Amino acid sequence: MLIRQGHTRNHAIDRRLACVLATVAGAVNTVAFHAVGFFSANMTGNVSTFSDRMAQGEWLAGAFYLSIVLTFILGASASTLMVNAGRRRNIRSVYALLILAEAVLLALLGMAEMFLQIPDRGAILVLGLSFLMGLQNAVVTRISDARVRTTHVSGMSTDIGIELGIWLDKARGRDIPGMSDGYREKLGLHVRTVLSFLIGGVLGVVLYRYIGLALLFVAAAGLFVLATSGIVRSRAEAGSFAAE
């Protein structure tokens, strides 16, 4: 799921990766909200709240919402720089390595929140998660040539509406030639991604009630398994190419 890129990927690979990462994103988003009352992956809502706070003269609160958005952007930028560096060096496992880094950082964030007595723990939690969600979303965007998003629902919901409109036109025999190519696969991808985000959110709430911030370790473990399987497969494929 984390080796092939762009046109070399098929819809099945995109669907599996989208479902796994969207589930993690949904769970992490609910952790941030239940722990400190902020969403770490909802940039639309954070920008809207930022504008609302600024309009009401609540400068400090507005600045914090802005910092969440900027941290998300920083995570996406850092991810892009590392992907570019890896591709320049022909590191086929660069995407898997980035997800592995996300898993490690997520576990470290969980340890800091649970075991260290530090000031402003809530702010550190939401900003840390926002950085990691930006990193993750950039990884899946780059590897899929922007076919997949995993940390927000607005764009995916728009895509679902577009594909449904194409389906309705096609059902009435009014589709435009070329526009309906692959619409079933795209619709299936976006619906599954949104459902996975939803399921991740539900699981996140349930597990948070029982284990609290230890949920971060569960999410990190899932990412670790995904990343290590990609790294192992990349090395195996590299070995087979060398043998040939």
Q: What is the pLDDT of residues 116-150, one digit of tens each?
A: 777 777 888 999 999 999 999 999 988 888 788 88
Report d(CA 1, CA 9) in Å as an integer: 8
Residue 38: predicted pLDDT: 84
User: What does R_g of the chain's alpha carbons equal in angstroms?
Assistant: 19
Q: What is the pLDDT averaged over residues 80-90?
A: 93
Return the number of other C-beta atoms located less than 10 Å from residue 62's C-beta. Answer: 18
Q: Would you say 145 and 86 are in contact if contact means Cβ atoms under 8 Å apart?
A: no
Report d(CA 84, CA 107) in Å as an integer: 25
Count Cα atoms within 13 angstroms, Cβ side, for 5.
16
Q: Would you say 2 and 103 are in contact if contact means Cβ atoms under 8 Å apart?
A: no
pTM (2 d.p.): 0.90
Residue 243: predicted pLDDT: 47
For residue 116, what is the enclosing H or E element?
A: none
Residue 63: predicted pLDDT: 93
Residue 239: predicted pLDDT: 62
Measuring CA to CA, which residue among 103, 148, 150, 209 is closest to residue 10?
148
- What is the average pLDDT value for the chain, to the nearest integer? 87
What is the band of 180 on the pLDDT scale with cuts at 50, 70, 90?
low
Residue 240: predicted pLDDT: 55
Report d(CA 13, CA 75) in Å as an integer: 24
Report d(CA 51, CA 70) in Å as an integer: 14
Report d(CA 4, CA 244) in Å as an integer: 20
